[in-house]
Amino acid sequence: MIVSFLTSKLASRIKKSAENSSNMIYITKLLLETNQMLQSKITKSEIIETGCNQLSNLLKRNIKYYDISIHVFGIPVNDEEHEINLIYLR
């Protein structure tokens, strides 16, 4: 009985460790991908669009970007996929 309990506990820890490793691999891949994408972007709008897309992938949520200039909301980026209000502060 003790052996089965220890085996079960060890299997549980191994499973949790594998899940954590899988999550870290996914996040590392996404960060590397984001870095490579951002290096090729030049304009502010390209960088913002890339950042929003990558945040959407990471959070598995839709993103809406509002630019704030002199404490006034700008017009949101028009995209049907956006849902969450992400506020960019200068």
Residue 78, pLDDT above cutoff 80? no
Maximal CA-CA distance, the chain: 69
Looking at residue 89, its pLDDT comes to 41
| End-to-end Cα separation, the chain, in angstroms | 62
Yes or no: say if 90 and 68 are a contact pair by the CB < 8 Å rule: yes
b/e map of 23-53 (b: 16 or more CB within 10 Å)? Answer: eeeeeeeeeeebeebeeeeeeeeeebbbbbe
Mean pLDDT across the chain: 77
pLDDT band at residue 4, thresholds of 50, 70 and 90?
confident
Q: Model-level pTM?
A: 0.53
Q: Please tell me which residue, 73 or 37, carries the higher pLDDT value.
A: 37
